[in-house]
Amino acid sequence: MKRLERDYAKLKTHKGAAKRFRITATGKIKRGHSHARHILTKKTNKRKRLLDIDALVAEGDQKRVERMLPYGRD
């Protein structure tokens, strides 16, 4: 019995990246904002509200994050 396909090693997901990024249905990568976890009393309500909105990963970082998440994220 000949083996036609070569068995390649599985790619490992970067677990830190998996916790920080989500991939949208169109393939874009969403990220959260920093500075929204503690020391919130001195920040304005508007600033805290805007920090809660997810943003997209910059174009220059997109490829790097995609390599860390070879199978996407559920």
Per-residue pLDDT tens over the stretch 8-42 = 899 999 999 999 999 999 999 999 999 999 999 99
In terms of C-beta distances under 8 Å and separation of at least 24 residues, what long-range contacts does 55-63 make, across chains too?
Answer: 55/30, 55/31, 56/28, 56/29, 56/30, 56/31, 57/21, 57/28, 57/29, 57/30, 57/31, 62/29
Q: What's the pLDDT at 1? A: 53
Q: What is the mean pLDDT of residues 48-62?
A: 97
Domain 15-68 is found in CATH 3.30.70.20? no
